[in-house]
Chains A and B, each alone.
Chain A
């Protein structure tokens, strides 16, 4: 077998990249698929072999290595899956080798790499859906603010405490300090965590700013994933990812334990108007980063959004890639020929491609070995097996993730696989996916966990309730002209607008 079509390289070895490779393989143009990743992913390997391509193991964030492989294989298009290669300039070096790249070059990927820079860019360019924030170069510098008393301006109390750099879905803490009687515990925790962030981010060695403190907001979250050719941005159906490791939104932050989308382009609790506003926000961010960098944005881009009482659609984070697992939902629903789409992005002709998505509901559930996310050593090294036949019979698809194939198949410490199911509605898809989780297990008896509540009726009811509350409040603000407006009263200073303060600070 083997395709006669174009040679296309997929960079990355996770479930998202498995889904990307599969979407490419579905194309009527029968492309030959090549892959480079740090783990041998059996799903990607199979697709590569069937298409007559080649598979190499190499450090994917090493621009020289990836470019060398691409030119050795003579690939025409490269698609970059994860964020780290983008941060390290892999797209740039591929471009230097005359490979057409779908993936943000370094100066564009900064929008995701530096959460601080992302916020500054948003404020500088007046992009809506903004949050107050402050950055620090060290934890010593942050200490006083983190310990500030519970009667300080509210936003400094209820905060998201983050590494200033994207750190692979790790290190974000959301701390509400709403009980003065527990202030001491929370302040101490914040300081200790900031100390950890400081150390952790200095390990990357690529950013001066280490700690970001951001106003905490509440509301349902959703991800808007789009394709950009530098002129046009076309967006897909909304997807909701779920970050907490365990059921009922409990437990540590993960890269995402499961996601759901549909039926149709909206989520059941997000309106068309909110969708449109979210698209506006992502568009404006891409415009801003293109203008400021002078680079053309060819690739995937996504806004991780929250519907807040403060402003409605609000930007939590930008992705210079597809989400994982959200990308699996998106590509599963995509009906347009993916290679046509890639070419249109490269050629700047996205506006002439009609993006078509299936109207079905999809649910993706991630499976992770016990220990993930905080004890990856314990989570790694377990033999894993899936009965893909049984899964197919039940109507599911399996996307291999953090596993490595070498004398058997072993977990490598992160989310090992993702299961995708379709349905006419979300609870139905959720139940199908749930059934399929039984067809995959670790052979040494170590636990493999997932969240049974992703896309369930109960979860949707809760999201509905949350969205209704946030919506009622932001709509009322809109009526009164106070959308996104904040006011503080500080004894001795009087009435202050923290947003104006922030803008003054940013102007220097």
Chain B
């Protein structure tokens, strides 16, 4: 997974703005989408680059104030950085199906720009490169080329700051953290070029392809304060909890959610079941995404720091433990054990999504099936493995109902639905 971001100031006063800090804070708000590396590039006639491996506030904190530029792009990513070719820098999310990946896409764009306008060049990329991806490219004169391919699988949202700046980011929450108003989405197949004096748009379609939303974004990836493609993530998650309470009721005294993603799901479960919501955990240190961490030991460190149980919330109680998804069961096993150690009598695990069954071809950091506990074991078997008294997943139908859009406008591939 990846988070990308681009920002540019408008008009004759644009040189009065410097965007580096906006990028820094915007990327901080996208940190949950990629923790291994962070890069930014700004433009003020020249391109200026900063970043490296590590989290945003560690890697970028020094020197960001000294980076000039009235336009810029940034990326947080587990693997890839910003590709640069000639005068073009590009931050991409997703998977362009092209030998050489983002590097070749960037050089292709760069050579197209020799003979075509930014809008035509970007359209050509979407026309010619299949896959599922979004990108934000920047040239040294501050022109931003923004594109979301017709599959619509990689999100991009648009923000505006008064009469002065425009921005795009993988999630709306990053725009808000930059002090911007979230005004729209970049539509599937849409290309937007912002050059400081104009905003131009074009639309690309691919024969036979209709756009779909990535359901995993709503379940797990996005922050719950984000609104993506006009759907508030928070509302979807609360709804998931409500549906889960209908589909998989439990006798219990308290509902607790695994922070942070599953907390709104737990709130929905509590609301629909009437079982009180308790705050079951306190976290230590920076927020980490345990499902997408690199090695096994890193994941465990992440879980244990993130999830210190609150004894008084669970002691002598039957507890419904709500989590968003199960990848390997590591998190769960640890948490269930810790809850019981802190006095919980029964632990009923409820998962706010169906079992993960397949990796994501578009780079969502979901592992291969033999690393997915839900792809081979039954609910009862998993309950036994993680030490819970019961375990239930949300049904596929329940997930679709919770998101509230027709099944054929969703990508459900990681839950084992082809198409």
Contacts and interface: CB of A to CB of B under 8 A. Distances in A.
A251 B10 contact: yes
Given A250-B183, A252-B10, A189 B166 contact: no
A174 B184 contact: no
Interface stretch (B41-49, B194-202, B335-343): B194-202
B178 to A, nearest CB: 7
A40 interface: no
A370 B117 CA distance: 14
B296 interface: no
B16 A189 contact: yes
A172 B163 contact: yes
B17 interface: yes
B200 A251 contact: no
A184 B11 CA distance: 20
Interface in A349-403: 370-371, 373-375, 378
Nearest to B9: A189
Contacts of A251: 10-11, 160, 163, 166, 199
A248 interface: yes
A447 B163 contact: no
Interface stretch (B18-26, B80-88, B138-146, B237-245): B18-26
Interface in A206-258: 243-253
Interface in A437-488: 447, 449
Contact of A247 (B17, B162, B197, B199): B199
A375 B201 CA distance: 20
A182 interface: yes
Interface string A175-186: 110110110110
A250 B158 contact: yes
A311 B163 CA distance: 24
A371 B12 CA distance: 10
Interface string B92-103: 000000000000
Counting chain B CB atoms within 10 Å of each CB, which of A181, A252, A253 scores highest? A252
A189 B18 CA distance: 9
B160 A250 contact: yes
A373 B12 CA distance: 9
A370 B16 contact: no
A474 to B, nearest CB: 21
Nearest to B166: A250
Contacts of B115: none
A374 B14 CA distance: 10
B11 A173 contact: no
Contacts of A199: none
Contacts of B181: 249
Contacts of B11: 251-252, 373-374
B16 A192 contact: yes
A196 B199 CA distance: 25
Give the contact-size bracket for chain B: 20 to 34
B21 A181 contact: yes
A137 interface: no
B114 interface: no
Contacts of B295: none
A188 interface: yes
A120 interface: no
Interface string B389-409: 000000000000000000000
Contacts of A147: none
A447 B197 CA distance: 11
Contacts of B25: 179, 181-182
B131 interface: no
Contact of B160 (A181, A243, A244): A244
B249 interface: no
Given A374-B10, A449-B198, A178 B163 contact: no
A179 B21 CA distance: 11
Nearest to B28: A181
A175 B17 CA distance: 12
A193 interface: yes
Contacts of A373: 11
Interface string B146-163: 000000000000101011
Give the contact-size bracket for chain A: 35 or more
B164 interface: yes
Contacts of A250: 158, 160, 166, 183, 199
Contact of A182 (B22, B162, B200): B22
Contacts, number: 91
A371 B198 CA distance: 7
A378 B197 contact: yes
Nearest to B184: A248
A1 B388 CA distance: 94
Nearest to B12: A374
Contacts of B179: 176, 178-179, 182
Contacts of A173: 13, 162-164
B178 A182 contact: yes
Interface in A155-211: 172-176, 178-179, 181-182, 184-185, 188-189, 192-193, 196
A447 B200 contact: yes
Contacts of A252: 10-11, 163-164
A204 to B, nearest CB: 18
A232 to B, nearest CB: 37
Contacts of B163: 172-174, 243-244, 251-253
B35 to A, nearest CB: 21
A247 B183 CA distance: 9
Nearest to B182: A248
A248 B183 contact: yes
Contacts of B158: 248, 250
Contacts of A370: 197-198
B10 A249 contact: no
A179 to B, nearest CB: 5
A189 B12 contact: no
A248 B197 contact: no
Contact of B162 (A174, A196, A447): A174
B10 to A, nearest CB: 5
A244 B181 CA distance: 13
A182 B21 contact: yes
Contact of B16 (A179, A181, A188, A243): A188
A193 B160 contact: no
A188 to B, nearest CB: 7
A74 B17 CA distance: 54
A175 B180 CA distance: 11
B180 to A, nearest CB: 10
Contacts of B200: 447, 449
A160 to B, nearest CB: 9
B352 to A, nearest CB: 28
Interface string B192-222: 0000011111000000000000000000000
A254 B285 CA distance: 47
A78 B65 CA distance: 57
Contacts of A449: 198, 200
Given A175-B162, A185-B22, A447-B200, A249 B183 contact: yes
Contacts of B183: 248-250
Contacts of A192: 13, 16
The 8 A-B pairs with the shortest beta carbon distances in the complex, nearest first, are: A374-B11, A250-B160, A248-B183, A246-B199, A192-B16, A252-B11, A174-B162, A253-B163
Interface of A: 172-176, 178-179, 181-182, 184-185, 188-189, 192-193, 196, 243-253, 370-371, 373-375, 378, 447, 449
Interface of B: 10-13, 16-18, 21-22, 25, 65, 158, 160, 162-164, 166, 177-179, 181, 183-184, 197-201
18 contacts: A174-B162, A181-B25, A182-B22, A182-B179, A184-B21, A189-B164, A192-B13, A192-B16, A248-B184, A250-B158, A250-B166, A250-B183, A251-B199, A371-B198, A374-B10, A374-B11, A375-B12, A375-B197
Given A175-B164, A251-B11, A370-B197, 12 more contacts: A172-B163, A173-B13, A174-B163, A179-B177, A179-B178, A181-B25, A185-B17, A189-B13, A193-B16, A247-B199, A248-B158, A447-B200
